[in-house]
Amino acid sequence: MEIVVDHPIFGPYAMAFPIKWKANPFNNKNWLHHFNSLRWLGKEEDLIKVEKSLRSFYNFHCIKKIKNPYYSEIRGDHTAAIRLTSLVELKNRFEYSGVISGVGICQKLIKNELVNLQRPEMYRAGHNHGLMVDLALLEVFKDRKLKFQHLIDLDMILSRSAQTINDMWHFTGLTKEHSVSYQEYNLPITVKYYKTIEELDLENKSNVLLGNIINETKKFLGYALKENGEYFSLGDTLRKPNANILNKVYKGKTLNSKTPVELLLPYSKQDGTYCNNNFFIFRKLINGRKIHFAATCCWDSQNHKQNDELSFCLDVDGISIFDDPGFTPFLPKQQVMDLKSEKNHSTITIEKNKWGANFSAKRASKIVTGNDFKDGFEVEMKAERVPGLIFTRNIKLSKDVVIIKDHVSGLIEKGTYINRLFVLGPKVCVNKDLIRNRALLSVGDKLLAEVSCESTGVSESFFYIDNNVDYVLVKKDEVVKTNILMHKGKAMAGINNRLMTLKVDLI
């Protein structure tokens, strides 16, 4: 006998009994997460196979106690939260069908899961996974039919979940998880948490107002939504909006589902500026061109943090000129890590000075100022991710010209290359003019921009092109290669402050 595990990306995969719960046929963490969550059993019509799978899971983890990080380690916190909810649903299904033995194995697994999820070692404080765990426990507590209330430490759950809410959200309602997608993804989880606390008639001990989160999310996502219906892919962001999430929160009493553009009005169509210490977004018609720009520079924690300080995206008339590689969890681990690296973002790297780890970064990365004016905008960002160095980036668009000025302050060994990286849209081609030290950017036969550079405090200033950078498409598991236009220069002796400028003339 075998049972089929169906994954939304990798498709169906047949597993023989007894099931090997650490099997990873696709060498992918998301597959392991999905497999051990047991949610795929909800689609299995044969209850005999479902019960056999549950008994296999119980025997593997609770009797033999075989170590599995997706059961008993913090790596599996999100997995376990989904599994607890799935087990409750399966128990109800067995009850409805009169399969008493199936109800029994579900109850055994639920009891073990309740103990498991209340262990400090299984809790990621300040992380959306932590909130998912607490929400799953509260849902079990709320279900009087389960009669497991005595197994749940309610005071502990309320205390740690409130702190996690405070650590996930700024008081304004902006995410502390560094991306457009996590602003969206964490919204329904948070709404459900607040609703559950209210339904249980319990005190909400968090400091963040739900109304702030709902309002800020609509504004942020609306400004981040591009003309082609995708988000700017800053941070751990999937390009395609989750229409189900947005409808759940913003649709109201309307029966029919709405599009993300409709749900995020007026901000999805509104010209103007969205600005805080983490993100700057600008949208406006200038000189007959539709300009849409977004930048990020922030560090609130290590949660879902990419090394993307100073990164920016620029769309002109719907064409992506400068972009971000994007994010997906459905690639091999190393490829996912590469997408997070500073080497794959529009930022600054120093040949002999590595960026510090994102879990120990200073909280000095921020948008310093951001303003708009009649013919454009200006934004300034500051980052201290390389020990001993300060990066300051000023981007100003005025009519048809974009000027990007980067100050690099601090000691750098003579002759060390300073690299300014600029990720180009996947359709953008680069032609270098070596005589004039410029680059021409085009899509097909259409010339988009002429790029030139100059520097003070560095020598041998020149352009270099890296055309082997992964770029994630709308489909979460597909990538193409795109170009990075690199402005390189060598550090000079005795100079602690360097200015490198990139000029982009839109054509």
Predicted confidence (pLDDT) at residue 392 exceeds the cutoff of 90: yes
- List the CATH number of the domain containing 383: 2.70.98.70
Sorted by sequence, the CB contacts under 8 Å of residue 435 that are 6+ apart come out as none
Q: Domain for residue 471, yes or no?
A: yes
pTM of the model: 0.92
Amino acid occupying residue 366? K
Least confident interval from 56-65, 301-310, 386-395:
301-310
Q: Which two tokens stand for residue 493?
A: 């002796």
Q: Domain for residue 418, yes or no?
A: yes
C-alpha span between 209 and 367 (Å, rounded): 24
Predicted confidence (pLDDT) at residue 254 exceeds the cutoff of 80: no
Q: How confident is the model at residue 22 (pLDDT cuts 50, 70, 90)?
A: very high
Q: Domain for residue 280, yes or no?
A: yes
Could you tell me if 457 and 499 are in contact, meaning their C-beta atoms sit under 8 angstroms apart? yes
Could you tell me if 338 and 332 are in contact, meaning their C-beta atoms sit under 8 angstroms apart? no
pLDDT at 469: 84
Give the residue from 391, 365, 393, 390 showing the smallest Cα distance to 379: 393
Q: Domain for residue 300, yes or no?
A: yes
How many domains does the chain contain in total?
Answer: 1
Angle separating helix axes 128-142 and 154-168, nearest 10 degrees:
150
For 208-253, the pLDDT digits (tens) are 999 999 999 999 999 999 999 999 999 999 999 999 999 999 988 7
Give the residue from 486, 319, 294 showing the smallest Cα distance to 377: 294
pLDDT at 468: 78
25 versus 477: the higher-pLDDT residue is 25
Sorted by sequence, the CB contacts under 8 Å of residue 84 that are 6+ apart come out as 110, 113, 114, 117, 136, 137, 140
Residue 75's φ and ψ, nearest 5 degrees, are -60, -25
The proportion of the chain whose per-residue pLDDT surpasses 70, expressed as a percent, equals: 98
Q: Domain for residue 390, yes or no?
A: yes
Q: How confident is the model at residue 86 (pLDDT cuts 50, 70, 90)?
A: very high
For 325-357, the pLDDT digits (tens) are 999 888 888 888 888 999 999 999 999 889 988
Could you tell me if 287 and 375 are in contact, meaning their C-beta atoms sit under 8 angstroms apart? yes
pLDDT at 210: 97
Could you tell me if 451 and 503 are in contact, meaning their C-beta atoms sit under 8 angstroms apart? yes
pLDDT at 363: 67
Predicted confidence (pLDDT) at residue 359 exceeds the cutoff of 80: no
Cα–Cα distances (Å) from 65 to 39, 62, 72, 84, 409, in that order, read 21, 5, 10, 18, 54
Q: How confident is the model at residue 475 (pLDDT cuts 50, 70, 90)?
A: confident
C-alpha span between 283 and 291 (Å, rounded): 6
Least confident interval from 339-343, 360-364, 393-397, 444-448:
360-364
Least confident interval from 16-20, 135-139, 466-470:
466-470
Predicted confidence (pLDDT) at residue 302 exceeds the cutoff of 90: no
Amino acid occupying residue 116? N
Predicted confidence (pLDDT) at residue 477 exceeds the cutoff of 80: no
Q: Which two tokens stand for residue 505?
A: 């003339």
Q: H or E stretch including 154?
A: helix 154-168
Name the residue range of residue 501's domain: 271-506
Cα–Cα distances (Å) from 351 to 195, 348, 355, 409, 415, in that order, read 50, 10, 10, 15, 10
C-alpha span between 163 and 186 (Å, rounded): 15
Predicted confidence (pLDDT) at residue 80 exceeds the cutoff of 90: yes
Mean pLDDT of the region 169-185: 96
pLDDT at 409: 94
Q: Domain for residue 9, yes or no?
A: no
pLDDT at 273: 98
The proportion of the chain whose per-residue pLDDT surpasses 90, expressed as a percent, equals: 83
Q: Domain for residue 191, yes or no?
A: no
For 90-141, the pLDDT digits (tens) are 999 999 999 999 999 999 999 999 999 999 999 999 999 999 999 999 999 9
| Plot region of 322 (φ>0 → left; ψ -120 to 50 → alpha; else → beta) | beta
Q: Domain for residue 133, yes or no?
A: no
3-state secondary structure of 339: helix
pLDDT at 303: 84
C-alpha span between 486 and 418 (Å, rounded): 10
Q: How confident is the model at residue 362 (pLDDT cuts 50, 70, 90)?
A: low
Q: How confident is the model at residue 360 (pLDDT cuts 50, 70, 90)?
A: low
Q: Which of 206-215, 294-303, 432-441 has the highest mean pLDDT?
A: 206-215
